């Protein structure tokens, strides 16, 4: 029987490390440090990225945002931030 528990991302990693959880599911970014501690499954869905900005900016790509000197806010542990 699969038991589901909702928690925040840092708690998932801590729970897997301590054996409190057998698996953790989220949009975890792959990096070398994590690969030393975790086995990653094959992706089970296709995540689509989008970004939002103030309508007056007229930005159509992340390259334009970088060239315009805009700032980004996001969670450092997600694939969204890795994509940016």
Question: pLDDT tens-digit profile of 33-79?
Answer: 888 888 888 776 666 667 777 778 788 887 888 888 877 777 666 66
pLDDT in the model for residue 18: 92
Q: With 80 as the cut, is the pLDDT of residue 30 above it?
A: no
What's the pLDDT score for residue 62? 78
Instruction: Give pLDDT, residue 47.
Output: 65
Q: Enter the DSSP assignment of 76.
A: T
Distance CA 20, CA 14 (A): 8
Q: How many H helices and E strands in the chain?
A: 4, 0
Which pTM does this prediction carry?
A: 0.52
Q: What does 37-72 look like in DSSP terms, one character per residue? A: H-PPPPPSS---------TTS---SHHHHHHTT---
């Amino acid at each position: 029987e699969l038991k589901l528990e909702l928690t925040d991302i840092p708690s998932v990693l801590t729970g897997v490390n301590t054996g409190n959880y057998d698996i953790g599911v989220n949009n975890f970014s792959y990096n070398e440090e994590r690969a030393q501690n975790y086995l990653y499954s094959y992706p089970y869905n296709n995540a689509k990225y989008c970004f939002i900005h103030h309508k007056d900016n007229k930005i159509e790509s992340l390259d334009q945002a970088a060239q315009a000197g805009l700032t980004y806010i996001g969670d450092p542990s997600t694939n969204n931030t890795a994509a940016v």
